[in-house]
Amino acid sequence: MSLIVDRRNIDFLLYEFLEVEKLFETERYGAHDRAGVTAMLDSAEAIAEKHFQPIAAKLDANEPKAVDGKVEIIPGVKEALEAFAEAGFFATVFDEADGGLQLPMSVHLLAAGIFQVANQPIANYAFLTIGNANMLRAFGTEEQIARYMPPMLEGRWFGTMCLSEPQAGSSLSDITCKAEPLGDGTYRLSGSKMWISGGDHELSENIVHMVLAKIPGGPAGVKGISLFLVPKIRVNEDGSLGGSNHIGLGGLNHKMGQRGTTNCLLNFSDGGDTIGTLVGAEGQGLACMFHMMNEARLGVGHTAVMAGLGGYLFSLNYARERLQGRHPQDKNPVSPQVPIIQHADIRRMLLAQKAAVEGAMALTAYCAHLTDLEKVEADADKRANLHLLLEILTPVAKSWPSEHCLEANKWAIQILGGYGYTRDFPVERYYRDNRLNHIHEGTYGIQALDLLGRKVRMKDGAALKVLLGEVTVTAKAAACTELAEEAKALQAAIGALGAALQAVGAASDANRGLANATLFLNSFGHVVIAWLWLRQALIAQKALEGKKDEGSETIFYRGKLGACRYFFRYELPKVHAELALVASLDTTCLEFASEDFGAL
Amino acid sequence: MSLIVDRRNIDFLLYEFLEVEKLFETERYGAHDRAGVTAMLDSAEAIAEKHFQPIAAKLDANEPKAVDGKVEIIPGVKEALEAFAEAGFFATVFDEADGGLQLPMSVHLLAAGIFQVANQPIANYAFLTIGNANMLRAFGTEEQIARYMPPMLEGRWFGTMCLSEPQAGSSLSDITCKAEPLGDGTYRLSGSKMWISGGDHELSENIVHMVLAKIPGGPAGVKGISLFLVPKIRVNEDGSLGGSNHIGLGGLNHKMGQRGTTNCLLNFSDGGDTIGTLVGAEGQGLACMFHMMNEARLGVGHTAVMAGLGGYLFSLNYARERLQGRHPQDKNPVSPQVPIIQHADIRRMLLAQKAAVEGAMALTAYCAHLTDLEKVEADADKRANLHLLLEILTPVAKSWPSEHCLEANKWAIQILGGYGYTRDFPVERYYRDNRLNHIHEGTYGIQALDLLGRKVRMKDGAALKVLLGEVTVTAKAAACTELAEEAKALQAAIGALGAALQAVGAASDANRGLANATLFLNSFGHVVIAWLWLRQALIAQKALEGKKDEGSETIFYRGKLGACRYFFRYELPKVHAELALVASLDTTCLEFASEDFGAL
């Protein structure tokens, strides 16, 4: 079996769950068909297996080093990215008019995942570049786009997002990076940016930074933040490279995971001027960023899912091969040992992974599909609803996988026993890689405030209403089938969600109402994943109707039904205690005084 | 504040929670008093701060290397262990007659914890040696004890336990290491042992391995396993060192955590004979090991607690100092940022850590105290009950911290944000170190089978009865106080536990009854920790009676009450969904066929 992709599941998601072939009937996506997508996935798998996977452990053990202000990376990384570029993967989601393939985002996301499982740190360079180019396309001037975008789509120049500073991570309104207008339409950037993934390296000919900074004299807080395009090497009018733009490498951060992606402290105007140009309007920096944030957060969520998938596939394969122990009722010491997959607790840990990973993958694929549908939906009301769905699901797509696919990675290690925590096997690496996703691109707590403080209320709860409408359709469809028990459980969970929301809405002050927002996010996520499992199970149930053989298709659908059952029996019931706590507006944490933690 | 110990909490556990001063009134422990214990804790703290803590990050980044069959370790490790030895810490728990201090195990455990938080990998060498000497004392011949034990108590020779083999970790009955009698009372050992912590190094003059092996011609399975004392360097009759005992270093395992402790593959009779002597009777190897297993498992549990404590103390200190963001209702962008400890969600993550760490620490200290009480209890029935309590609590003490203090470490990272996952701060290291405890010395799943398959049933449920008796005493004491709500919740949880046990007992076959044993263990652990929190809260409640000042003592006890409240509101309610699942004898995992996982 492949240890980096489950192609059958990708096909299930694309053609049975999302029905993307309907997209291929639209004008926008009419150039694509299933055969073409299959060929592209084949190509992704081949490149990932040949160039990405083989150096994953080595790159982890030999992280990039800063030597004389330059970054050294092990051989193979550049070649992998060149192979990725050569196959055209930098350009897949861009419009044909921009030199892209105009591929649906859902297809792109699932193809990208193959590279991510194979070698996340290398994939980061590519997907950061794609995100960067995407933002430039949305907000750049014609001139900026013409000069900077084509080399990114060719994979010759890479891109980054520069938001955080040493003193301002979650609290972006407190950034202090300065952009002083020079009078000729350009700006001089000064200050430092922290946690910049791909911030410096020699892998590409140039690096295009998208930088949040404040123009002196502007308003305080987020309204004073503007967005700037700041290249590592200056670019002449004809697109050729000029001199250094004086961005100093202040240092590399050494993380516990995703170690092969450089993560930098960058100092602007270091030994000379750093010159940038404004992207979008003055004071609209955060608005531009947030326009792209849904996709960036979806990307992080999918990264978490892919780490989970890597651990799941590896531990599944291991559990089928590793012999250890006997069944509880077998007391004969010389009977042969059994493959550990035969132990109920190993199966539990595999099912926990399958339920988390395939559940979360359905969510990230669904969100990506929403962005595709938005682009082809002609009806304005329907289009608005698609956007609302995406808005309310984004904090979940970012957060739920970062928590529950990390938990999945924990079980992958557990299945391998002592081998699991050695660096000879990839499962501990997936676990370390995944731990970052809980924090970057907006922490779990920040997503929770976004969901409970903003998304569930916006437009009088319109987004929530659209989502619950979708969930109810699924529950009703399941109610008169063998999935009736699950349908009932889903509706009970929605009732608990509603009760919690009502209590929060009636809270006397914002602090109290939001004090347990993280728990709400977690349970909300469980309900969403349960819904998507029920949707998958309905498809599987239908596909199994009348099937009598024991072929791989029967097995595949039976696996979907089993994982759905697992999620509804082992996971969904947890929401009731958690939502009851949210509904109680408990103030244990809110009112616990700082000094009461003691140890002063 | 200290980042490696909370001395006030140690005093609370020793003098208020366990009331160890009562032990000091017994003959066995009469030489000790509070002042002496305080001096010893002072000494532990000073040595840990001076020699252990400063090289923790460096040792993690520079793990031991095998060079020409020998192990190289960074400077400072040997010196730290020498300082530990010089202060007498190798000998504290041994009887005075053996050259020890005859210190209660509870005091020893809490003092040991200071070294563990400071630098777990170094502490491992010491505590493995103490465990080894302890086993030798229990089962060795007079001659073996006289020859091998004194150098271990002086810290000149170290010790290991050699159980696992590459093909036999959880399934010890399948070991294949051979011990052939040579006719002169000695045995020739052959075969390999895997995962041997401290298995080879140059830190001590000699290494004493306790090895499980099979004597050819003996019975199959566990009955054929015997225990052997096998030194790295042969020892002459007068105790002086002889020649090599031909134990080859097959390789070092490279783990994700506790990296400074060598972990070895050892090959016996490598280029010459490896000679050992029998410890205990033939075929009694596993019985000897299991005699010491309670303490070894308690040790691993305490290790997990200490990793949790390290993360908690560091993130607490950080949260008090780090400024970031404002309260939800504060919309003024220029108002000063607040210390992050003022955010409700940060407090939740700190309380989650405090509740897990101090709850689990109460459990490990309590278990250690049971071994002390056993030694001084004159009444045979009471002594038997103490032992039953220890038996049933050991799988919990091993497992619960390895799961929930690992979770605590996850929150410590989260509190530090992006900084949390860099190797500049210790919280990610504690997380990695802790991940091992879930597996070694018997996995979570193995502990679950021990608890549900054996401990709750043994002697017609006698151990469970004793434990529930103790829990009921606490619940009743709390029922008529301000902790009545908690008392009620504890009793409801015990009801759910009973219902689950009844269903499991009525299960038609062992496989089905034990299929969800791990979930049972988890909830059982929650009930035990809730009980110990209630005990702590009762003490705090009493101490606060009439207290009107806002001094550090008031704050300390208020913190205990708050953490107890947190555990009862945020954690204990989770058991109901989990125990209902156990009671339902759900077979989702048991019956899920291996092939249904797909991805073949």
How many helices and strands, by DSSP H and E, does chain B display?
17, 12
CA nearest to A576 within chain B: B577
Nearest-angstrom CA–CA distance, A93 and A385: 23
pLDDT band at A599 (very low <50, low <70, confident <90, very high): low
Predicted local confidence at residue B430, as pLDDT: 98
Distance between A540 CA and the closest CA of chain B, angstroms: 13
Show which residues of A are catalytic: 441
Nearest-angstrom CA–CA distance, A157 and A154: 8
Taking the Cβ of residue B342 and every Cβ of chain A, the question of whether any pair is shorter than 8 Å is answered with yes
Choose among B450, B442, B453: nearest CA to B170: B442
Taking the Cβ of residue B509 and every Cβ of chain A, the question of whether any pair is shorter than 8 Å is answered with yes
Based on C-alpha coordinates, what's the Rg of chain A? 25
Which residues of A fall within a CB distance of 8 Å from B599?
A: 1-2, 6, 8-9, 313, 316
Predicted local confidence at residue A497, as pLDDT: 97
- Residue A211 scores a pLDDT above 80: yes
Taking the Cβ of residue A337 and every Cβ of chain B, the question of whether any pair is shorter than 8 Å is answered with yes
Indicate yes or no: CB of A254 within 8 angstroms of CB of B354: no
Taking the Cβ of residue A46 and every Cβ of chain B, the question of whether any pair is shorter than 8 Å is answered with no
Distance between B375 CA and the closest CA of chain A, angstroms: 33
Indicate yes or no: CB of B348 within 8 angstroms of CB of A323: no
CB B81 within 8 A of CB B125: yes
- Residue A544 scores a pLDDT above 90: yes
Interface test with B, best of A589, A590, A591, A594 (most B CBs within 10 A): A589
Neighbouring C-beta atoms of residue B546, cutoff 10 Å:
6
Taking the Cβ of residue A600 and every Cβ of chain B, the question of whether any pair is shorter than 8 Å is answered with yes
Which residues of B fall within a CB distance of 8 Å from A65?
A: none
Indicate yes or no: CB of A592 within 8 angstroms of CB of B566: yes
Measured torsion, CA atoms of residues A100, A102, A103, A105, in degrees rounded to the nearest 10: 100
CB A514 within 8 A of CB A586: no
Supply the mean pLDDT for chain A: 96
Structure confidence by residue, pLDDT tens digits, A133-148: 999 999 999 999 999 9
Structure confidence by residue, pLDDT tens digits, A96-150: 999 999 999 999 999 999 999 999 999 999 999 999 999 999 999 999 999 999 9
Taking the Cβ of residue B31 and every Cβ of chain A, the question of whether any pair is shorter than 8 Å is answered with no
Taking the Cβ of residue A449 and every Cβ of chain B, the question of whether any pair is shorter than 8 Å is answered with yes
Structure confidence by residue, pLDDT tens digits, A245-297: 999 999 999 999 999 999 999 999 999 999 999 999 999 999 998 878 888 99
**Cα dihedral sign for A106, A108, A114, A118?**
negative
Predicted local confidence at residue A426, as pLDDT: 98
Taking the Cβ of residue A438 and every Cβ of chain B, the question of whether any pair is shorter than 8 Å is answered with yes
Neighbouring C-beta atoms of residue B506, cutoff 10 Å:
9
CB A234 within 8 A of CB A244: yes
Indicate yes or no: CB of B596 within 8 angstroms of CB of A559: yes
Largest CA distance in chain B: 86
Predicted local confidence at residue A307, as pLDDT: 98
Q: What are phi and psi of B332, to 5 degrees?
A: -85, 115
Nearest-angstrom CA–CA distance, B110 and B106: 6
- Residue A151 scores a pLDDT above 80: yes
pLDDT band at A331 (very low <50, low <70, confident <90, very high): confident
DSSP E strand stretches across B86-177? 157-162
Nearest-angstrom CA–CA distance, A432 and A323: 27
Q: Between B34-47 and B105-139, two packed helices, what is the crossing angle to 10 degrees?
A: 80
CB proximity list for B320: less than 8 A, separation 6 or greater:
A594, B339, B341
Taking the Cβ of residue A167 and every Cβ of chain B, the question of whether any pair is shorter than 8 Å is answered with yes
Predicted local confidence at residue B192, as pLDDT: 97
Predicted local confidence at residue A566, as pLDDT: 98
CB B513 within 8 A of CB B587: no
Structure confidence by residue, pLDDT tens digits, A475-527: 999 999 999 999 999 999 999 999 999 999 999 888 899 999 999 999 999 99
CB proximity list for B486: less than 8 A, separation 6 or greater:
B478, B530, B533, B534, B537, B564, B565, B568
Neighbouring C-beta atoms of residue B293, cutoff 10 Å:
19
Nearest-angstrom CA–CA distance, B532 and B12: 13
Based on C-alpha coordinates, what's the Rg of chain B? 25
Neighbouring C-beta atoms of residue B170, cutoff 10 Å:
18
Structure confidence by residue, pLDDT tens digits, B387-400: 999 999 999 999 99
Predicted local confidence at residue A172, as pLDDT: 86
Indicate yes or no: CB of B569 within 8 angstroms of CB of A580: no
Taking the Cβ of residue B202 and every Cβ of chain A, the question of whether any pair is shorter than 8 Å is answered with no
Alpha-carbon distance values, A500 to A285, A395, A567 (Å): 35, 18, 22
Which residues of B fall within a CB distance of 8 Å from A552?
A: 598, 600
Q: How many CA atoms lie within 13 A of A81 on its CB side?
A: 31
Predicted local confidence at residue A530, as pLDDT: 98
Neighbouring C-beta atoms of residue A587, cutoff 10 Å:
13
Identity at A165, one-letter amino acid code: E
Q: Between A380-416 and A285-321, two packed helices, what is the crossing angle to 10 degrees?
A: 40
Neighbouring C-beta atoms of residue A593, cutoff 10 Å:
12
Distance between B455 CA and the closest CA of chain A, angstroms: 15
The mean pLDDT of A319-341, rounded to a whole number, is 88
The alpha helices in B482-516, defined as continuous H runs, are: 484-505, 510-514
Choose among A597, A445, A168: nearest CA to B314: A597
CB proximity list for B394: less than 8 A, separation 6 or greater:
B293, B294, B297, B298, B367, B455
Supply the mean pLDDT for chain B: 96
CB proximity list for B25: less than 8 A, separation 6 or greater:
none
The segments of chain B whose pLDDT lies below 70 read: 599-600
Which residues of B fall within a CB distance of 8 Å from A580?
A: 573
* DSSP of A423-462: TTSTHHHHHHHHHGGGTTTS-HHHHHHHIIIIITTHHHHH
Taking the Cβ of residue A18 and every Cβ of chain B, the question of whether any pair is shorter than 8 Å is answered with no
Which residues of B fall within a CB distance of 8 Å from A326?
A: 171
List the catalytic residue out of B295, B391, B441, B571. B441
Nearest-angstrom CA–CA distance, B437 and B29: 31
Instruction: State ipTM.
Output: 0.96
Indicate yes or no: CB of B518 within 8 angstroms of CB of A222: no
Predicted local confidence at residue B600, as pLDDT: 63
The pLDDT > 70 percentage for chain A reads 100
Nearest-angstrom CA–CA distance, A527 and A13: 19
Which residues of chain B from 359 to 398 reach within 8 Å of chain A, CB to CB? none
Choose among A442, A454, A573: nearest CA to A504: A454
Q: Among A164, A569, A590, whose Cβ lies nearest the Cβ of B588?
A: A569
Predicted local confidence at residue A334, as pLDDT: 85
What is the C-alpha end-to-end distance of chain A, expressed in Å? 54
Distance between A353 CA and the closest CA of chain B, angstroms: 10
Measured torsion, CA atoms of residues B504, B506, B508, B509, in degrees rounded to the nearest 10: 40
Indicate yes or no: CB of B9 within 8 angstroms of CB of A599: yes
Nearest-angstrom CA–CA distance, A149 and A146: 6
Determine how β-strand B157-162 pairs with β-strand B206-214: parallel
Which residues of A fall within a CB distance of 8 Å from B448?
A: 345
Choose among A483, A498, A458, A472: nearest CA to A580: A498
Taking the Cβ of residue B121 and every Cβ of chain A, the question of whether any pair is shorter than 8 Å is answered with no
Which residues of chain A from 540 to 559 reach within 8 Å of chain B, CB to CB? 552, 555-556, 558-559
- Residue A19 scores a pLDDT above 70: yes
Cα B147–chain centre separation? 29
Which residues of A fall within a CB distance of 8 Å from B515?
A: 344-345, 348
Distance between A275 CA and the closest CA of chain B, angstroms: 28
CB B256 within 8 A of CB B432: yes
Establish, for the pair of chains A and B, how many residue pairs have beta carbons separated by less than 8 Å.
Answer: 295
Indicate yes or no: CB of A592 within 8 angstroms of CB of B418: no
CB crowding A275-286: b at 16 or more within 10 Å, else e: bbbbbbeebbbb
CB B143 within 8 A of CB B277: no
Structure confidence by residue, pLDDT tens digits, A337-352: 899 999 999 999 999 9
3-state secondary structure of A274: strand
* DSSP of B7-36: HHHHHIIIIIIS-GGGGGGSSTTTT--HHH
The token pair at B599 is: 């991805």
Nearest-angstrom CA–CA distance, A64 and A84: 20
